[in-house]
Amino acid sequence: MTEQSLPRPAIAVVGYGSQGRAHALNLRDSGFDVTIGLRPGGPTEVKAKADGFTVKAPAEAVKEADLVAVLTPDMVQKQLYADVLAPNLKQGAVLLFAHGLNVHFDMIQPRDDLDVVLVAPKGPGALVRREYEIGRGVPCIYAVHQDRSGRAEQYALAYAAGLGGARANVIKTTFKEETETDLFGEQAVLCGGASSLVQAGFETLVEAGYQPEIAYYEVLHELKLIVDLFYEGGITRMLEFVSETAQYGDFVSGPRVIDASVKARMKDVLKDIQDGTFTRNWQAEYDAGLPNYRKFQQADKDHPIEQVGRQLREKMVWLQGQTETQPAARKEAA
């Protein structure tokens, strides 16, 4: 099916954070009719109006939409669906998510008449927008949970194309696969794993008597150089661009740090994700007002590596002016 033959539904984007703004702008520039659904007086209403969008309360925005994209934080989606979306979505509409958590774990049970799909760009909102503007695109994955019209997959592909994903790569998945792999990646490698590895490396060097500033450069600052090489060409490219000494250290010491016991614990993390333990715990934490979340967050912010890092980054003139893009990595923002 060509991009020209795909459907072009009227779209309501609910939420205007990092992903919401990028989706809305790209879709509009691709020729879709886009309305933004936001709380009146909310912090992003002014931004959406400044970008030239018609902004309505979510209940009003979704009433006439053929497709409703839910781009709010995970933990507000259950109530949003029950209070606003379910009573107001028109018959036979398409309900689209960028992350499958609420549907996969049955916190949202969509109306039977709806098409329910997922489209997830594999990059932060700022990158989704930037790549589109220069004529490229960020790869997207998509899934169909419920196909009542017989055209749910076509709607998902149309949306992905509108984001620019068809310019790069579009891969079919399932709500289960997207949700579980996304949560695992964040927890075991990208956020939890990487942060803990960096903190442990910093602590090891400082406790051995090395300067905190030197430790910061070695275990955190230079990590970007390695990750960029991973991103550009995988582990092979990284090995091509580091010294033979670094390669040998990789071969003999990497498996000593990340050994079979680490992989076993990763499997435990995955099991908690798969059986819903993580999601139940996260929902309970959210419902309780986030006491542990805030404690853990503050502990990370107070770690000595952050204190050293703030001082060192003040002298990195090339970083000045980039702070406004830092939150863009968040996939969900109201």
Per-residue confidence (pLDDT) for residue 2, from 0 to 100: 61
* Mean pLDDT computed over every residue of the chain: 94
Tell whether 114 and 241 lie within a shared domain: no
Question: How would residue 176 be classed by pLDDT, with cut points 50, 70 and 90?
Answer: very high
Q: Number of helices and strands (H, E) in the chain?
A: 17, 8
CATH of the domain at 159: 3.40.50.720
Binding residues for Mg(2+): 182, 186, 218, 222
Per-residue confidence (pLDDT) for residue 331, from 0 to 100: 45
Question: How would residue 330 be classed by pLDDT, with cut points 50, 70 and 90?
Answer: very low
- In terms of C-beta distances under 8 Å and separation of at least 24 residues, what long-range contacts does 109-114 make, across chains too? 110/81, 110/145, 110/146, 111/86, 112/146, 112/148, 113/148, 114/89, 114/146, 114/148
Confirm if 37 and 20 have CB atoms less than 8 A apart.
Answer: no
Q: Which residues are catalytic?
A: 99
> Is residue 183 a part of any domain in this protein?
no
Last residue of a domain, one of 129, 146, 174: 174
For residue 219, the one-letter residue type is V
Per-residue confidence (pLDDT) for residue 4, from 0 to 100: 63
Q: Does residue 329 register a pLDDT over 50?
A: no
Tell whether 162 and 196 lie within a shared domain: no
- Taking only the tens place, the pLDDT of each residue in 45-61 is 999 999 999 999 999 99
Tell whether 197 and 149 lie within a shared domain: no
Domains: count for the chain: 2
Binding residues for substrate: 243
- Taking only the tens place, the pLDDT of each residue in 77-98 is 999 999 999 999 999 999 999 9
Tell whether 168 and 236 lie within a shared domain: no
Tell whether 166 and 238 lie within a shared domain: no
Binding residues for NADP(+): 16-19, 39, 44, 125
- Taking only the tens place, the pLDDT of each residue in 213-249 is 999 999 999 999 999 999 999 999 999 999 999 999 9
Per-residue confidence (pLDDT) for residue 325, from 0 to 100: 42
Binding residues: 16-19, 39, 44, 125, 182, 186, 218, 222, 243
Confirm if 11 and 36 have CB atoms less than 8 A apart.
Answer: no
Per-residue confidence (pLDDT) for residue 303, from 0 to 100: 97
Tell whether 30 and 147 lie within a shared domain: yes
The structure tokens listed for 222 are 């230079």
Q: Does residue 136 register a pLDDT over 70?
A: yes
Q: What's the rounded mean pLDDT across residues 177-194? A: 98
> Is residue 184 a part of any domain in this protein?
no
Which of 150, 143, 140, 154 is CA-nearest to residue 7?
154
Per-residue confidence (pLDDT) for residue 3, from 0 to 100: 63
Question: How would residue 320 be classed by pLDDT, with cut points 50, 70 and 90?
Answer: confident
Per-residue confidence (pLDDT) for residue 334, from 0 to 100: 36
Place of tokens 């992905």: 160
Last residue of a domain, one of 148, 174, 200: 174
Sheet of strand 170-172: strand arrangement: 54-56, 34-37, 11-14, 67-70, 94-97, 115-121, 140-146, 170-172
Q: Residue 175: count other Cβ atoms within 10 Å of its Cβ.
A: 22
Domain carrying residue 159: 11-174
Tell whether 22 and 127 lie within a shared domain: yes
Q: What's the rounded mean pLDDT across residues 188-215? A: 98
Per-residue confidence (pLDDT) for residue 314, from 0 to 100: 94
The pTM score is: 0.92
| Rounded Cα gap, residues 185 and 118, in angstroms | 18
Radius of gyration of the chain (CA): 22
| Rounded Cα gap, residues 172 and 184, in angstroms | 19
Q: What's the rounded mean pLDDT across residues 311-316? A: 94
Q: What's the rounded mean pLDDT across residues 98-120? A: 98
Per-residue confidence (pLDDT) for residue 152, from 0 to 100: 98
Tell whether 153 and 42 lie within a shared domain: yes
